[in-house]
Chains A and B, each alone.
Chain A
Amino acid sequence: MTQLFAYIPHKNGAADECALELLTAAAQIDATAQVTGIVVGSGTDLDAVCNEVAGSFNEIWKIDDVKFAYPNAEIIRKALIEVLPADAVFITHHNSFGMDLSPGLSILVDSPLVADVIEMEVDGNTLKTVRQELFGQVYSHVNCDISSGAIVNIRPGAFIPKENAAAGGNVVDKTVNTDVDVKRRYIETVTPDSGGVDITKADILVSVGRGIEDEDNIEMAKELAEALGAELSCSRPIVDAKWLEQARQVGTSGKTVKPKVYLAMGISGAFQHLGGIKGGFIIAINKNPKAPIFQVADVGIVGDILEFIPELTEKVQ
């Protein structure tokens, strides 16, 4: 019998919204399984989280220590190695924490890792998953032998949160003594300066991606945004290249936006980008008819943005 464990992320005494996605993922592995939520942290914040999620999971394992006040995967991994049974199937998110934690955990507990899973089911000892490769250009079926456990990193947002699970679990204290020799020590979290830019309030976002091709072309996107009374936003490579400020980046490592209309121009539609778009009518313009953005957009145009943008600007003016 597989034992399912879900790592519950939390902050300031509250579970992250995505915590209940783990239950949906677990149910795809085994709809009748008991799911144990693992909550690692410290003090009253930790107790608040445990009480909050206890109703949704069959059992909550609480791991309490001041050294877990900040979720440092390097130390949390050590605690998990101590508490997880050998054949555990452990589910967490494929985000900045899961990417930090899971590869090493998979080696140390000697269980295979399947990362960035968007769908799954179980057939005997085989976990059958759906993933993407080449940044969303292709899908693949990936199978994993879970007879001796597994680590599964699920894609944030790919599983609909199971809101009304009423499992009524107990909170069990599983605090263990972990090795105190910490080789990566957390100092602080720094929020970059927005420079007065706020893309989260705009009704219309003109959003440019790598398809804009050259720094000089940013100007034409600016002109369009101005003509439309819109804000200019972008995908990550534009910020990496320092063509626009970080405060204009849409995505999981940028801003979350909910405009009325999102004009995605020369943006392929990687999941980390789409993760920042929480609503609105998406119009996508891309020269590649197979670009993944067309799967999520409401309206699509196959074309060259370097031709399209000036035409649109002129017509609007």
Chain B
Amino acid sequence: MEILVCIKGVPDLEENEIEIKSDGTDIVRDDLVYSINEWDNYAVEEAISITEDKGGSVTVVTVESDEEKADEVLRREMAMGSQQGILVTDAAYGKGIASVLKAVSEKGSYDLILTGAQADGGEAQVGGMLAAMLDRPYASLVNMIEVIDDGKLKIGREIEGGDQEVSEIDLPCVLSIQTGINEPRYVSLRGIRKVSSVEIPEYRASDLGLSADEIGIDASKVKRVDYFVPDLGEGAEMIEGSMEEKVNKVIELLKSKGGMS
């Protein structure tokens, strides 16, 4: 099975404290550490394990104007066991990202296209848009994939309360992957070194028959105006003091509010 996985590098929230620029136009990106979007990492693992089992190959693609960041993310996921990487170096936004991915997917012949269920923007939209553009069936929040035959998969979707909605879906299709579907393998430094010289084809929107304008922010009807810190009222009452004071305060609250004896 030929599988395309769409991935993105996102600010690593364990490594960075996020600050908003004073004019609100962006977050402070100097020295920001990026890592692979968690959901995408599960998608890549799933693709690799399917091809290990059924044959075929995995291609990872990212749409990113910052080439250095893109290269790092692609190579990390290739080190997990994806055979090919593709980089599109244009600033695409919203629906524009799906348009680019559509064009990339049409350069190859993929039975299955995976995305993460969501990334740092939280829109959870790229996979579903891509499927509609390609006129392929779609399922979001997929937490189980079983290959039935060349023509179809059995899949599970995670729904509210943690229940699993099981369906059959025809290939070719697009699926967005939910965390927990598998246990992503670790990437060793040796693994990354091994793929460090693999050539990653780079495209511009124009190479794909798209204009930078039609995928960029100006073409988007949805536009971020700014980032801001809302007036959130009081928030939590913060307990200061020594460890002992804090521990005592928590115990007091557990007794008064939690009925602990």
Contacts and interface: CB of A to CB of B under 8 A. Distances in A.
Interface of A: 72, 74, 94-97, 99-108, 112-116, 128, 130-135, 137-145, 150, 183-192, 203-204, 210, 228-229, 236-237, 239-242, 246, 249, 252-256, 259-261, 263, 268, 281-284, 288, 290, 294-303, 307-308, 311-312, 315-316
B189 interface: no
Given A299-B237, A308-B247, A229 B260 contact: yes
A296 B237 CA distance: 10
Contact of B18 (A106, A112, A134, A203): A134
Interface stretch (B49-57, B70-78, B106-114, B168-176): B168-176
The 8 A-B pairs at the shortest CB distance, nearest first, are namely A103-B128, A300-B236, A261-B258, A240-B180, A183-B137, A104-B132, A107-B132, A112-B221
Contacts, number: 260
A277 to B, nearest CB: 14
Looking at chain B's contact residues, is the secondary structure mostly helix, strand, loop, or mixed? mixed
Interface stretch (B81-89, B191-199, B202-210, B227-235): B227-235
B149 to A, nearest CB: 15
Given A145-B221, A261-B258, A100 B228 contact: no
Contacts of B253: 261, 281, 283, 299
Q: Give the size category of B's interface with A.
A: 35 or more
Contacts of A96: 140-141, 157-160, 165
Contact of A316 (B156, B163, B251): B251
A138 B13 CA distance: 12
A254 B254 contact: no
Contacts of A105: 132
Given A116-B122, A116-B123, A260 B95 contact: no
Interface of B: 10-11, 13-14, 17-18, 20, 27, 94-95, 98, 117-118, 120-129, 131-133, 136-141, 154, 156-170, 173, 176, 179-180, 183, 220-230, 232, 235-239, 243-244, 246-251, 253-254, 257-260
Contacts of B247: 308, 311-312, 315
Contact of A203 (B94, B251, B259): B259
Given A187-B167, A189-B159, A311-B247, A288 B17 contact: yes
A315 B248 CA distance: 8
A256 B239 CA distance: 27
B2 to A, nearest CB: 19
